[in-house]
Structure 1
Amino acid sequence: MTQTVRGVIARTKDAAVELVDIVIPDPGPHDVIVTIQACGVCHTDLTYRDGGINDEFPFLLGHEAAGIVETIGDAVTHVSVGDFVVLNWRAVCGECRACKRGRPWYCFDTHNASKKMTLTDGTELTPALGIGSFADKTVVHEKQCTQVDPTADPAVVGLLGCGVMAGLGAAVNTGNVGRGDSVAVIGCGGVGDAAIAGAALAGASVIIAIDRDDTKLAWAKELGATHTINASHTAPIDAVKELTGGHGADVVIDAVGRPETWKQAFYSRDLAGTVVLVGVPTPNMRVEMPLLDFFSHGGSLKSSWYGDCLPERDFPTLVELYIQGRLPLEKFVTERIDLGDVEKAFDRMHAGEVLRSVVVL
């Protein structure tokens, strides 16, 4: 039997979001209905609202979520009713060329629910990143659910569903930060600060936070940065080299995703160092540089998709580290808000006032 619940939608491009009734269908064979307990407000949701992803309006927003499995389809084996899960948008297929080559974190054909959620008039909704969790309940594929320790705070661990995992993974998985490494992170919002926390977790000895906002730099210090650079009045490349014996950092992570920040990352690294791009550029951005510089600097230039994570491998481990007090995920939660406050949360995020607002249901 279908259910009618509340959900936050973006009906048209650039319009304020709306809290409306939505219809949850009966699950398909491999689908799962999850009762949402908490969902983070991510910049990707704002990008959906503004038409920056595609034009498949109306969108059901929200994707950084944790909750309880309520109902399962007839063929579901991955989770059970009552399981506490973090939702993910990399539900690996096991059959594509990446999966078959043993690289499932690059899966090219991830699973989504077979049934569509709708408005009460039957209009189909496009769920953000295949999840759509600014709602009392949502329907997802069973492999979009990762079971974790049920004693964890949903408002905290749900953030692994996107931004925090993207940053942590950019350092630990993509950048392969190790003990004693020097790391610089450009951009200290939620993703950048998660990269800083990941570098600290991996044992980096020098962790340099770079931003133009002193408040964000203070957050970075709380999450493990050993040094900070305010790029509004200090040249980042020179400052990074000064803090690393004149050489540059072993790993530089660009959490902004602009041509100028990527160039800063490139020239801030040591010879044979690694650049990781995790900030998402827009389609019109271009980089023009001497090809000789690429050759002479050596090293690795990487992009990081979702922190190159494998949810079934990474989420339970990171949640356990959080519970043990070894990974301060709780510091990412700036405020807890109601479902009707998402538009105000977008304003606060755009103003740089929060790391994460989290909707608690």
Structure 2
Amino acid sequence: MPHTVRAVVARAKGEPVSIEAIEVPDPGPGEVLVAVQACGVCHTDLHYREGAINDDFPFLLGHEASGIIEEVGEGVTNVAPGDFVILNWRAVCGSCRACRRGRPWYCFDTLNAAQKMTLDGVELSPALGIGAFAEKTLVAAGQATKVDPTASPEAAGLVGCGVMAGLGAAMNTGGVGRGDSVAVFGCGGVGNAAIAGARLAGAHTIIGIDIDAGKLDLAREFGATHTIDSSS
């Protein structure tokens, strides 16, 4: 039986978002139903509302989230009801050339939930395949990663977007290695995650560059060895 929940929806380009009652299906094969505990606000959500991603309105916003697995569909083995999870953009296939080479971030055949959540019978487009500005959301099982249940839901949710974007930029795309020198321009959430990734990868010199002194203070906490205030 579908679940009726409250959610934040962008109905049309540039219009104010609204809280609506939407329908979320029971999970089908390879899908999970997640009771959302926390969801961060990412600038990407604004891009969706402004039509800068695509024109597939209405959008169910939100993607930087954590929650509790409520139900699982047939064949799901990686998570179980009651598990605390973070949500990620897409489930990698595990079998394409990129996945077989150990580079799943380049997966050619990522997955989202096959079933659609709806508003008044109209299919919703979930932001980044998640749509977590809702009391519950439906995702592919591979989009849910089990984490320590004692973690703060608000902090854990950030891992699914800003943290993995920054860490991945440094450790995967950038290929930072031991002894390297790295400069990171912009020390917000993603930038500081890149600084942390560079530190984990063993970089020797990590320079954080920003116009905000407070962000530069945070950059040092995340591992910057040097900072530059580019406002002066």
The runs of 5 or more residues in structure 2 that have no matched partner are none
1:197 paired to 2:196: yes
Cα deviation, residue 93, structure 1: 1.1
The equivalent residue for 1:210 is 209
The equivalent residue for 1:66 is 66
Runs of 4+ aligned structure 1 residues displaced above 3 Å come to none
The equivalent residue for 1:57 is 57
The runs of 5 or more residues in structure 1 that have no matched partner are 234-361
* In 2: Cα distance, 1:56 partner to 1:166 partner: 24
Q: Deviations over 1:211-243 (max 9, x none)?
A: 22333223222322222222233xxxxxxxxxx
**Residue identity in the other structure for 2:219:** A
The equivalent residue for 1:3 is 3
**Greater CA deviation, 85-94 or 172-181?**
172-181
- Given that 1:90 and 1:107 are in contact with CA atoms closer than 8 Å, whether structure 2 keeps it comes out as no
Q: Match of 2:122, SS?
A: coil
- Given that 2:40 and 2:62 are in contact with CA atoms closer than 8 Å, whether structure 1 keeps it comes out as yes
**Residue identity in the other structure for 1:134:** F
TM-score by length of 1: 0.61
- Given that 2:90 and 2:129 are in contact with CA atoms closer than 8 Å, whether structure 1 keeps it comes out as no
* Aligned positions of 1:73-152 closer than 5 A: 73-119=73-119, 121-152=120-151
* In 2: Cα distance, 1:56 partner to 1:163 partner: 24
Q: Quick check: which one's helix share is greater?
A: 1
The equivalent residue for 1:24 is 24
Q: Deviations over 1:39-60 (max 9, x none)?
A: 1111111111111110001111
Cα deviation, residue 99, structure 1: 2.6
The equivalent residue for 2:152 is 153
Cα deviation, residue 104, structure 1: 2.3
Cα deviation, residue 38, structure 1: 0.9
**Residue identity in the other structure for 1:11:** R
- Given that 1:33 and 1:138 are in contact with CA atoms closer than 8 Å, whether structure 2 keeps it comes out as yes
Percent of pairs with identical residues: 69
Cα deviation, residue 150, structure 1: 1.5
Q: Match of 2:214, SS?
A: helix
The equivalent residue for 1:178 is 177
**Residue identity in the other structure for 1:70:** E
**Residue identity in the other structure for 2:117:** M
Change (3 A) 1:95 1:54: same
Change (3 A) 1:31 1:46: same
TM-score by length of 2: 0.93
* In 2: Cα distance, 1:99 partner to 1:198 partner: 21
* In 2: Cα distance, 1:175 partner to 1:125 partner: 35
* Aligned positions of 1:183-332 closer than 5 A: 183-233=182-232
Q: Deviations over 1:82-129 (max 9, x none)?
A: 11111111311123332344432211111111111111x111110001
* In 2: Cα distance, 1:199 partner to 1:94 partner: 26
* In 2: Cα distance, 1:14 partner to 1:217 partner: 33
- Given that 2:90 and 2:112 are in contact with CA atoms closer than 8 Å, whether structure 1 keeps it comes out as no
* In 1: Cα distance, 2:201 partner to 2:152 partner: 23
Q: Which has the larger radius of gyration?
A: 1
The equivalent residue for 1:313 is none
Cα deviation, residue 20, structure 1: 1.5
* In 2: Cα distance, 1:132 partner to 1:209 partner: 32
The equivalent residue for 2:166 is 167
- Given that 2:117 and 2:138 are in contact with CA atoms closer than 8 Å, whether structure 1 keeps it comes out as yes
- Given that 1:36 and 1:137 are in contact with CA atoms closer than 8 Å, whether structure 2 keeps it comes out as yes
The equivalent residue for 1:316 is none
The equivalent residue for 1:266 is none
